[in-house]
Structure 1
Amino acid sequence: MTPSPSPSLSSPSAPHLEPITPKNLGAALAVKVRPDQEFAVAPVVKSLAEAYVHGDMAWPRLIMDGDRAVGFLMAFLDTDWKEDGSGDIRSGLWRLNIAADEQGKGYGRFAVGAVSAELRARGTDRFYVTWEPGDNGPEAFYLGLGFEKTGEDAEGETVGVLKL
């Protein structure tokens, strides 16, 4: 099951992804989740710093609806999951930040669907994600999209996988 964009999006324009550029950097940095969700996802500024340091594997994108920035995502591509050269190469969603006032409108579902499409185009058949457990965390969202828990733990986070 691959998530598809939700029909409940608030704007008649189609949501889309844009690479982070000098022109939209301010809009990306302005994306903030609800305060009660801050424990579950790093701020965009940290993600962009990590994208700079891990440029060979990071795929950061601004989620736009028309000319409005509504979220940010960062995928990881073809990454040695165990960092030990074992060949456990994985791709998936590293970060997903939907702006506090844009939540519940289908942008998260759109983002997961867009990453699914990108991974399939790259020949990937499994889509990985991790999430911080806890109240107000994203577990129900990911499980609702068809991700299944792998039983693994990655630095205290739950690991999920979706077969593409």
Structure 2
Amino acid sequence: MSEISLKKITIDNFDQVIKLSETLNDYQKRCVAPNMVSLAQAYVEYERAWPRVIYLHDEPIGFMMLALWDDDIPKEDWPAYYLWRLMISAQHQAKGYGKKVLDIIVNKCKEDKIKTLYTSCEMSGNQPYDFYIKYGFEDTGINDGEQILRMLIS
């Protein structure tokens, strides 16, 4: 079993997921919505949202959410997923766990026969932009004040 896994949000881990947002510094809090907001969006957008807790062994260390479709993605890139949220708690950052989560997401894309994975980030600092570019995303430009990044899945 991999040390990093994605699991459903349940009544047993809900509070832990919410508290993970509190570990972020002020800059990071500007870059990613609080997990409470993300879970509310997942509830409202339940048909397209795919929220998951990121576990290191048995410990929740982060949160991610895919949009299983996004009408703003160019038709030529369909089928596509949009990485709507990705956050790792402060004490678990810079240890390679974010990359491992992206590896899991890319594998899901391949299993689901997804052609393109998109994400976006705000640009008041180097992160998470540099993280995504280093992983293999390409910059497609700005939309609604955020940098839109795309990765072709092979």
Structure 1 and Structure 2 fold alike (TM over 0.5):
yes
Q: Return the alpha-carbon distance in structure 2 between the equivalents of residues 17 and 34 of structure 1.
A: 24
Work out the number of aligned pairs and report it.
149
Where 1:113 maps in the other structure, the secondary structure is helix
Where 2:40 maps in the other structure, the secondary structure is helix
TM-score w.r.t. the length of structure 2 is: 0.89
**CA drift at 1:106:** 1.2
Contact 2:9 2:53 in 1 (8 A): yes
Q: Return the alpha-carbon distance in structure 2 between the equivalents of residues 18 and 56 of structure 1.
A: 18
In proportion to residue count, which structure has more helix? 2
Where 1:129 maps in the other structure, the secondary structure is strand
**CA drift at 1:98:** 0.7
* Residue 148 (structure 1) aligned with residue 138 (structure 2): yes
Structure 2 residue aligned with 1:160: 149
**CA drift at 1:87:** 5.0
Structure 1 residue aligned with 2:103: 113
Q: Return the alpha-carbon distance in structure 2 between the equivalents of residues 136 and 31 of structure 1.
A: 22
Aligned partner letter, 1:24: N
Q: 14, 23, 27: which is aligned to 2:12?
A: 23
**CA drift at 1:123:** 1.0
Identity of aligned residues (%): 34
Aligned partner letter, 1:149: D
Q: Return the alpha-carbon distance in structure 1 between the equivalents of residues 58 and 121 of structure 2.
A: 29
**CA drift at 1:79:** 2.3
The 3 A distance-change label for structure 1 pair 163 and 70 is same
Aligned partner letter, 1:68: E
User: Within 5 Å, which residues of 2 pair with 1:1-164?
Assistant: 14-32=3-21, 33-81=24-72, 89=78, 90-135=80-125, 137-151=127-141, 153-164=142-153
Contact 1:71 1:107 in 2 (8 A): no
**CA drift at 1:52:** 0.4
**CA drift at 1:142:** 0.4
What are the Cα deviations for residues 120-152 of structure 1, in whole angstroms up to 9, with x where unaligned? Answer: 21111111010111225311000000100112x
State the Cα RMSD in Å.
1.9
